[in-house]
Amino acid sequence: MSLCSVKKGDYIFKQNTIGNFFYVIKTGKVDLFINDNHIKVMSEGTCFGELALLHGATRSGTIKAHTDCLLWVLKRKYFKQIIEQVKGIHHQEAIRFINTIPLLKFMNEDQKKKFSSNLIKEYYEPGDVIFKEGEGPRCLFIISKGLVEYFSSESTDDKYSNILSVGDCFGMRSVLLNDSQMLTAKAKIKCEIFSISLLGLEEVFGENYFEQLILNFIKSTFYLSERYNKFDISLINKIYSCFELTEVEKDQVLYKDLVLSDKIIINLEGSLYKVILCYYFLEQIK
């Protein structure tokens, strides 16, 4: 690492630019801004800049010197060498973890090996934001330890909110549709989270990685279902083309008046509500 000085008010890097360095604050303080909103002040001993290097993405925020600073700086190539060594140490742990996740258990051995080599373990303290609503697609996330609050930042009484736990995957919609995040993810307690970047998913599954993810999601849904878990999972490969990925608007009706449908709906992300009309049943009883 090399040591560099930064004057108060200088920009260390700006949001959406290419990242080439990892930083550790030796002395002084810096400000973090996301979408021009001030998020927090970071002081000595804090590191930053790793996300863009880990995920091959642009900077997710802007860092500006709050005071005169001395920063330890590490170039991208050395940072990646260190990460590769860490990956080797955690490879077997990652393989064991993959085999416990229904979404991932249907990969073949070669895919599991590639998937584990592309996993990055990240650590979050309570209240840390993993990503915010409106951010671009970056990674698929899987919880190894802890709880994550997954919610809409809209200030409405009926806003969506869910608590995710060990083994849950999130950020999938953004990855599959190559679209911005529709929800915010925040650590509820101390968390360990595995993540794999879009480039990593492409290395594992090829350019059409989203199709393989959807297929695995359908397989895992049948596998976990009390009604359909006797279904021969291998047959899903043959009927996969019958499924269609569709975005459903809030309050859109999928079934009405208890009319039977010839469709099976698998919920990928968000929540569905079932309304039972008691009066309807009472009229049938009469």
Query: Which domains can be identified in the chain, with CATH numbers?
Result: 2-77 (2.60.120.10), 99-240 (2.60.120.10)
Predicted pLDDT of residue 29: 96
Q: Model-level pTM? A: 0.64
Mean pLDDT per 10-residue interval, the chain, length 286 residues: 94 92 95 92 93 82 95 91 75 82 88 88 92 86 94 69 91 85 92 92 90 89 86 84 83 72 77 56 43
Predicted pLDDT of residue 52: 83
* β-strands 161-164, 69-75 pairing: unpaired
Predicted pLDDT of residue 154: 67
Residue showing tokens 């009926």: 158
Tell me the residue type at 109: E
Tell me the residue type at 104: L
Predicted pLDDT of residue 105: 85
Classify residue 272 by burial, with Cβ atoms within 10 Å: 0-12, 13-18, 19+.
Answer: exposed
Predicted pLDDT of residue 276: 53
Predicted pLDDT of residue 155: 56
Predicted pLDDT of residue 257: 64
